[in-house]
Amino acid sequence: MFARVLVANRGEIAVRVIRALHELNIEAIAVYSTADAGALHTRLADRAVRIGPPPASESYLNMASIVAAAETTGCDAVHPGYGFLSENPAFVRACEDNDLVFVGPDADVMMRMGDKAQAKREVAAAGVPLVPGADTATAAEARAAAQDVGYPVLLKARAGGGGKGMRLVHEPGALDDAYARASAEALAAFGDGRLYLEKAIAPARHVEIQVLADADGGILTLGERECSIQRRHQKLIEESPSAALDEETRAAMEVSVAQACRHISYANAGTFEFLLGPDGSFYFIELNARLQVEHPVSEAVTGIDIVREQLRIAAGRQLPITGRASRNGHAIEIRINAEDPARGFVPAPGVVERFRAPLGPGVRVDTHVEDGTVIPPYYDSLVAKVIVWDEGRAAAIERARRALSELELTGVPTTREAAFEILGTDGFRSGVYSTSFLEETPLEAVAAA
């Protein structure tokens, strides 16, 4: 096992990884921008290294500074968390070139899976079903592909994610303008303006499968996460298991994921994302070759610490069990973002005046905020995750609402009230909802579209 690991991230995920390292008796080295001086993750770590000014491009995305911090502190490995450099194959190579173990898949796999069009070709070769679509290099090619698959269609960036470079097109006359806008947005966000087109599945649910794989071919699937409650293609609430899956479909999805992992020689933690159609058919969207924000949902129902397993796999150890992990009960995660739902979920940086986490049975809170924490405008708006577990879905929903009612977070607008309202709607309680839930469900806390 490693002696010292650098955590190349900030916020709640840096705190989460540091705690896992300490539980494994591994020294944790934090990095921070000047905007995060004194942040919780820097105080929990055994040592913290300043890597640059507030803009991410000059700090948390600065590969040279992060590798130098790892080298000067004598680290064996680097854990990237999620976001920032976590899916950057050039960063993986930079770590490898400096004798640092990257806690994640290797650079070749990450590069292939980071190109969504190539990822689709490779998993299709493993027998995983895809949404009908095509790679496109021009708007003319997109028009031809749309004619083949039928409208509505989605234009999506071949690199990156998070809704950037994505446009829904309902009719032929709108395609050229949407293509130009999506390509420009993708180029600005990811440095790559290439797009692919796929048939829009509606109504659709967003369901993903968590997997762990070791370097010796051992594969463990940890079941699904339902991620259909979204705004701007960003998840707000996740749960496991999904009310939309029967056991036959669930098993088929997990088998397809295991097949894909073997085919692409995947190792470490990963998440295969799928669209689930109204007829129960599922279609691969993309592979997130990293730890997911919502990984605690899978941890709650399986009892498996995914971050610990990431570290063990990276250190060359085999998974203790393979196949399909056993699950128990129902888990829900609510993301608490410093955003104003009444203004279209715009980010709301500021100072947290008071923070008190909910307690009690079956409640977990992952966060980096305290009284007085500054939420800077430079980074993701996530400030906390409230995760609950109970024996069944109805009980888990009530526990989640109880936890949210006890959560105190003042000083900045947050998504807490919106989440509390969502959990109380008939649509959510029924379990019959889709990715268009927020567009179709009027909520007092959310601005009308």
CATH number for the domain that contains residue 423: 3.30.470.20
Q: Are residues 190 and 212 in the same domain?
A: no
Q: Are residues 299 and 326 in the same domain?
A: yes
Same structural domain, 358 and 228: yes
| First vs last C-alpha separation in the chain | 51
Q: Closest Cα to residue 31, out of 6, 53, 56?
A: 6
Decide which of 174, 199, 224 is a domain's last residue. Answer: 199
- 114 domain-assigned: no
Q: Do 212 and 168 fall into the same domain?
A: no
Residue 162 shares a structural domain with residue 232: no
290 a catalytic residue: yes
* Host domain of residue 408: 205-440
The answer to whether residue 109 is domain-embedded is: no
The reply to whether 58 and 168 lie within a common domain is no
For the domain that residue 142 is a member of, what is the CATH number?
A: 3.30.1490.20
pLDDT for residue 232: 80
Pairing of strands 133-136, 27-33: unpaired
Does any domain span residue 116? no
Residue 241 DSSP class: S
- pLDDT at position 162 is 66
Q: Are residues 194 and 210 in the same domain?
A: no
Has residue 171 been placed in a domain? yes
Map residue 294 onto helix, strand or coil.
coil
Q: What is the CA radius of gyration of the chain?
A: 21
Taking the chain (449 residues) in runs of 10, the rounded mean pLDDT of each run is 98 98 98 98 98 97 98 98 96 98 97 89 95 91 95 90 86 96 91 91 95 98 98 92 97 98 98 95 95 98 98 98 98 98 94 98 98 97 98 98 98 98 98 95 83
210 shares a domain with 260: yes
Backbone angles phi, psi at 214, to 5 degrees: -100, 175
**Does 153 share its domain with 277?**
no
- Tell me if 27 is assigned to some domain: yes
Final residue in a domain of this structure, among 148, 165, 199:
199
Question: Quick one: 192 and 214 in the same domain?
Answer: no
The enclosing domain of 91 has a CATH number of 3.40.50.20
Whether 214 maps to a domain, the answer reads yes
pLDDT of residue 448: 65
Evaluate whether residue 234 is within a structural domain. yes
Q: Cα(183)–Cα(446) distance, rounded to whole angstroms?
A: 30
Is the model's pTM score more than 0.85?
A: yes
Helical spans, DSSP H, in 240-324? 247-264, 295-302, 306-314
370 and 284 housed in the same domain: yes
Decide if 403 is inside a domain.
yes
Give Cα separations from 245 to 204, 232, 280, 432 (angstroms). 13, 24, 8, 11
Among 147, 182, 199, identify where a domain stops.
Answer: 199
* Domains: count for the chain: 3
Candidates 10, 225, 290, 312; catalytic one: 290
Query: Are both 223 and 170 inside the same structural domain?
Result: no
Length of the chain: 449
